[in-house]
Each structure stands twice: as C-alpha cells, then as structure tokens.
Amino acid sequence: MAKPLTQRTQSSPSQRPLIEWPTLAMVVICYAGLVGVLAWGDGIGVAGSVVLLAVFIALHSSLQHEVLHGHPFRSKVLSEALVFPAVGLFVPYQRFRDLHLQHHYDPNLTDPYDDPESNYADPAAWALTSAPIKALYRFNNLLLGRMLVGPAISLWQLYKDDFAAFTKGDLSILWAYGLHVAGMIPVLYVVQGAAIPLWAYVMASYFGFSLLKIRTYLEHRAHEKVPGRSVIIESRGPLSLLFLNNNFHSVHHAHPKLAWYKLPACFAQRRSHFLDRNQSYYYASYVDVFRRYFLRAKDPVPHPLMAGAKQERELEHQ
C-alpha cells in the first residue's frame, strides 16, 4: 500500500523563479534535436539516426522527470504540456509520474512490493521461480543485461500491473493510457513524414530506454538505514548531462524539488554531509560503474535484507 508522500525542499514555491530557463532551454534543445534528426535522416543514415534519436528520447524522459517534480514552471499544467508528446512511445507520462512519486517515499526504497522502481525480488517468491526466468533476471543484474533486456522486463511488469489494476476498477489507468495515445499522435505523424522508417524510431525508443537503464542500474541499494540506499555518482560528463544530474541521486532524494542544474553545487557545498548521510554509497564516474559491473552483477536478485534471503543464497551455492 502506497504511503503519503513527504517531499522535502530547500525553498518555498514563492521563492522559485517564475520560469527556470536552463530547463526550458533543455526542452528546446531536445525537441530541436529530435526534429533535426528526423528531417535530415537521409544524410545521417538509419544507424546514425537511431543512435541520435535514442539520445534525445532519453533526454526527453529526463525532462519528464524534472516536470513531475515541479519544473520548469510553477504551473503544473504548463510544465506537463511541455512533455505531452509521447516521444518515448512506451511509457505513459502519468503512470511514470504517479509511480515515481510513490518511489519517493524513501522508507520503502528497494522494497519489492512498495517501491515500484525496485529491482529486487521477494526471496520467497524467487525460490519458486523457474530456472529460465531466474537466468533471465540474473542476466538483467549485469549492466549489460540491464541495457539489453531491462527495458523489456520493465515494460512487461508495468503493463501487467497496470492491466491488473484496471481490471480491479482503477479507471485512472485508462485515463493515463488514453492521454498517452493522444500524445503519440503528433509523434507518429512527424515520424511517418520523416526519412527514417517507423521501425527505426521504435528501435530508437527502446535504445533510449536502455540509456536510462545506465542511470537507474545502481541508483539504490539494499541498506538498513534509509539514507544509505541512494547513490552519488560524481560524474559531470555527457551521461550526467543526459540524465540531468540525477546521478547525484542521494541529493535528489534529500531535496526532490531542487532543479537539476543546482544538484552538483548542492553536493559540492555539503559533500561530507551527503557522503556521511548515504553511508559512502559513492562512485567517481560512470566509467567506474561500467568497469565494475558491465559483465558482473552488483546485487543478488532476491532482496538481501528480507526474510528468506539467507536461505536462498545458501540454496543457490549448494
């Protein structure tokens, strides 16, 4: 059962600027990039277009994340209008918004039932899982696997859970998907007139989701202390920009209303505080993350702090 949300912020809404121009500038860059790739796809080629589109589609999702946290306008309606086009095709914005805000109830972080973004399984349920599915989820726990099969697993879980909620009478699900279909219409209209085929755009949408899986791969860990569950990746390179500094994830969870362009400075000013707070759950860069975990799992699939996890580990090593 989802619990009431408590979102801390460093400033009241009245102290925020009327328009957060850096975020609005990123919105313009995102849409200009998408339209530019679609318009000049002939010259770029299908392969190059897919790669570039994936980058801008991932950026659009990062901007959706900013919008659901109250940026760049004080008006929720205006902000959500900016990301209304369903650029990524697969995930309805309203479902992303509602599930992500549920995820921000920090005491539930990593819980397989109460955290909708958890990648852990209940050890009791895991023990009853078939061997092929276990193999799939173990592969998903490598960074390589998370990028290749992670989007498909996440989408299957989302659609399955949403269908179950809808059949139980949750009509907000229908509304969310209806708006999503409406948001797909202008996107598909532009794509059908572009030089690249529709299948290439669909592939780019999947690869955009794969890029986002780099960010979410180790955002959270199982830890007894709630603040110790969120990571800091002190990167300020291309991936950090693509993810709008959400790699400073412990800072984001401490101050979820803080705009993306203020996160690095907030961390720099209180570095020791945040590293003490998150029990030094820290990586220097995404290069470090790839080096360690591209072909090696960081975590087990069963939640290591839930009842039955110890017995499951013992069974797997027999």
Distance CA 85, CA 96 (A): 14
End-to-end CA distance of the chain: 36
Digit-by-digit pLDDT tens for the chain (318 residues) are 333 333 343 444 447 788 999 999 999 999 999 999 999 999 999 999 999 999 999 999 999 999 999 999 999 999 999 999 999 999 999 999 999 999 999 999 999 999 999 999 999 999 999 999 999 999 999 999 999 999 999 999 999 999 999 999 999 999 999 999 999 999 999 999 998 999 999 999 999 999 999 999 999 999 999 999 999 999 999 999 999 999 999 999 999 999 999 999 999 999 999 999 999 999 999 999 999 999 999 999 999 999 755 454 454 544
Domain ranges (residues) in the chain: 16-316
Q: Residue 282: what are its φ and ψ, rounded to 5°?
A: -145, 140
Q: Kind and range of the H or E element at 47?
A: helix 46-68
Phi, psi of 283 (to 5 degrees): -135, 145
Is the torsion defined by CA of 114, 116, 117, 121 positive or negative? positive
Predicted local distance difference test score (pLDDT) of residue 307: 74
Closest CA to 152 of 102, 213, 79: 213
**How far apart, in whole angstroms, are the C-alpha atoms of residue 227 and residue 230?**
6
